[in-house]
Structure 1
């Protein structure tokens, strides 16, 4: 299989588009999810927001699968040689955590919906396959898992951003990884 050419030190346009598009979608998903859970169950806008949240969550999961496949077709640029062993290990751990959580969170949301006896519908146009039979006892477990996984994702995102900022502002210029994903000039 031919590899798509990317500069050694930068991500390609597809990887950047997926990264920033999914980041914006994630902000919307977490915002809508947090807001709708605070609404009274009888509030009619809650149902509309829930449908929107599920639709974008299903799309997000598909993008996460595509992103994982793309990362195998076009691997990330190598980490700077000046990073220590523990920094490289932590970077791999955080990246793996992000990928795992980007798949597990929408999956747990889909499981929650299926256990409640419903398919996940994308804007009422396409129903996702039902993976689990109705099981009201499992709804609560899937709901708890969904919430816990979101908090784990927030921690992973914080670590991801903190690491990029550390390398940009506190480390040697050669450790700066931020220009690989954003249009910044490397430090000198």
Structure 2
């Protein structure tokens, strides 16, 4: 049996759609929290942030399921054991954040003293979790800490991909890039 050298199209599509979506969520999060409280734009951004966050959760479940059923291509044989460990740990931390952040965000919304309904994409109501209001402060802190953890982990992931491509000149980054009709 031959060893797969690249991720399949589904894994690539999920990776890049989620990368763009997560970047959008982070930008949206920083913008909406810097706006004047109660402004119409802030309200709209919060609603979009919640809707996209739930979408990320669904995509992360799909992506995790796909990952568990489809063996990814192996890392380069010459990669040091410590670097392999970091690569695997980084990927699992990202999965944890992609699944955990929407749940913590849901806890923030559910325990908010403002009690504002979440209507996903303006169409589907999302009920609040049955949590006491007393956990709101801790949930908000966890969501903010998770955002910073996501930034650090994604930056490390991105930096490692660039290091492999430009410095080590191996095919680690190319494994996740669409071919667009050319051979990599």
Separation of aligned partners in 1, 2:118 and 2:74: 38
- Equivalent residue number for residue 3 of structure 1: none
User: What is the TM-score when the length of structure 1 is the normalising length?
Assistant: 0.87
Separation of aligned partners in 2, 1:132 and 1:119: 14
Between stretches 104-113 and 175-184, larger displacement belongs to 175-184
Residues 46-65 of structure 1 deviation map (CA, whole Å, 9 limit, x = unaligned): 11111111011111111111
Structure 2 unaligned spans of 5+: none
SS of residue matched to 1:78: coil
Structure 1 unaligned spans of 5+: 1-5
CA drift at 1:80 = 1.1
- Equivalent residue number for residue 7 of structure 2: 11
Separation of aligned partners in 2, 1:183 and 1:71: 18
Alignment of 1:112-151 (within 5 A): 112-116=108-112, 117=115, 120-133=118-131, 135-151=132-148
Runs of 4+ in 1 over 6 A off after TM superposition: none
- Equivalent residue number for residue 97 of structure 2: 101
- Work out the number of aligned pairs and report it: 178
Q: What RMSD over aligned residues (CA atoms) do the two structures have, in Å? A: 1.9
SS of residue matched to 1:63: helix
- Equivalent residue number for residue 174 of structure 2: 179
**Selected match of 1:86 from 82, 89, 107:** 82
CA drift at 1:69 = 0.6
8 Å contact kept, 1:40–1:46: yes
8 Å contact kept, 1:64–1:99: yes
